[in-house]
Amino acid sequence: MSEVRVNNLSNENNTGGPTISGITTYSGRHFFVPPQGDTASRPSDCEPGSLRFNTDSAHLEYFRGNTIGWTEIEAELTAPLGGGTGSNTGLGVRGLVGGFNVNGNTIEFLTVSTLGNTQDFGDLSNGRNNPGQNVCNRTRMIFGGGYDAGGWENVIDFVTVASLGNATDFGDTTEKRMQLSSVNNKIRGIFGGGQHAPDYSGTNVIDYVTIAQTGNAVDFGDMVNEKTSIASVSSSTRGVFGHGNQSPSPVAYADFITMASTGNATNFGNLSANNRNSLYAGGSSSTRGIFAGGYITTDIEFITIATTGNSTDFGDMTVARFQGCGLSSPTRDVLVGNRISPGSSNGNTIDYIEIATTGNALDFGDLSGDLGSQTGYSGNANGHGGISG
């Protein structure tokens, strides 16, 4: 066995490192520094298995091939969940969805890495619809707001994701509203926008809670504009709220906030598809955010969360629909429900996409709960981009 000690290795032209063949052992006692750069400087054509450090996300990532691209190396901090029937026969990130209708309080769950139908998880504290996208970290999911038989709600419920059972009271949002959306990191959950009484108008309110505690939400700041029917995506540092307008002009746009601070949102860019009122679903890895559906479209688009700018086409859902939710792991986004035409009742379609690629969605399974005649599913998963970083 030979031993070579050098400070630097390069090829003969000093343009890169040498190629080392055979079985090589690295025995440094401290560390080694891999190549590094931001998301925009990722090589587009290199050997599968190539390793680099992404300075935007502060994660190691590896190249999986030209058709897949770069994937971050994620640390799984909790045991993978599953162990049920339907879509829960495998293990992995768990997604929950509820708020189907004002006469029912069912919560359903699935395992994001598998395929199949959902199964019963438990019940919300009351029957309501249109809560909006949920806050979810590794252990706890929080449902905020909604519309019940008595009108707009400010109630916040929570469940423990790893155990089946009914929701428990958490506190109240600062304003009664429905169709609000949310972003979160591992510590803080933030609710943005929504529709409030008495005239179904939008609100620019942003409020937040500390996920591990219970209590009422506290003011965070304001959206750029008053917004209803919002979809949202998160990295570990930034939350992005997307919103679509049908009138007076069919334009869709996005705002962003830095979740660890407080303050008003800042413009991010436009979503490329028009007619995006009643945005359907958001989902994210720690670097890429997905927006899907709208009134009424099959469009799926993506953004790079660490940058600003307009969205890019991703592909299409299997059915045009709106007012559903996205349940995402670091690699997959599951698109759940909802209405497929104006005035229709809830649908039970579930699609999925692989976040790092582009292309059309594929069938995942069906919602198995009592969907009722109202609209506006609410959900999230305990492995999305805001907590996988």
> What's the mean pLDDT in 10-29?
65
Domains held by the chain: number? 2
Q: Which among 185, 86, 110, 182 is positioned nearest to 142, based on CA atoms?
A: 182
List phi, psi (to 5°) of 39.
Answer: -60, -40
Helix, strand or coil for residue 141?
strand
Q: Is 111 domain-assigned? A: yes
Q: By the 8 A CB rule, do 146 and 379 touch?
A: no
Q: Cα 12 from chain centroid?
A: 47
Residue 77: its pLDDT value, please? 46
Domain limits for position 56? 1-73
| pTM, 2 dp | 0.79
pLDDT digits (tens, 9 = 90+) for 142-198: 998 887 777 788 899 999 999 899 999 999 999 998 888 899 999 999 999 888 877
Q: Is 260 domain-assigned? A: yes
pLDDT at 98 over 60: yes
Q: Which among 274, 205, 273 is positioned nearest to 241, based on CA atoms?
A: 205
Instruction: Give ∠ CA 326-280-248 in degrees, rounded to 5.
Output: 155
Cα–Cα distance for residue pair 258/36, rounded to 1 Å: 24
Q: By the 8 A CB rule, do 218 and 120 touch?
A: no
Two tokens at 230? 């919002």
Cα–Cα distance for residue pair 93/251, rounded to 1 Å: 34
Say whether the peptide bond before residue 211 is cis (omega within 30 degrees of 0).
Answer: no
Is the alpha carbon torsion for 153, 234, 291, 303 positive or negative?
positive
Same structural domain for residues 85 and 69?
no
Same structural domain for residues 51 and 187?
no
Of 73, 97, 132, which one is at a domain's C-terminal end?
73
Q: Is 387 domain-assigned? A: no
Q: By the 8 A CB rule, do 255 and 268 touch?
A: yes
Same structural domain for residues 291 and 352?
yes
Mean residue pLDDT of the chain comes to: 82
Sorting pLDDT into bands at 50, 70 and 90, what band is 43?
confident
Share of the chain above pLDDT 90, in %: 38
Burial class (CB in 10 A: 0-12, 13-18, 19+), 336: buried
Cα–Cα distance for residue pair 293/261, rounded to 1 Å: 30
Q: Is 388 domain-assigned? A: no
Cα–Cα distance for residue pair 316/300, rounded to 1 Å: 5
Cα–Cα distance for residue pair 86/13, rounded to 1 Å: 58
B/e letters for 141-160, b = 16+ CB within 10 Å, e = fewer, are bbbbbbbbeeebbbbbbbbe
Residue 23: its pLDDT value, please? 62
Q: Strand 281-284 relative to strand 349-354: parallel, antiparallel, unpaired? A: unpaired
- For residue 137, give the CATH number of its domain: 2.120.10.80
Q: By the 8 A CB rule, do 111 and 93 touch?
A: yes
Residue 174: its pLDDT value, please? 94
Same structural domain for residues 64 and 168?
no
Q: Which among 183, 304, 293 is positioned nearest to 244, based on CA atoms?
A: 293
Q: Which among 228, 202, 386 is positioned nearest to 322, based on CA atoms?
A: 228
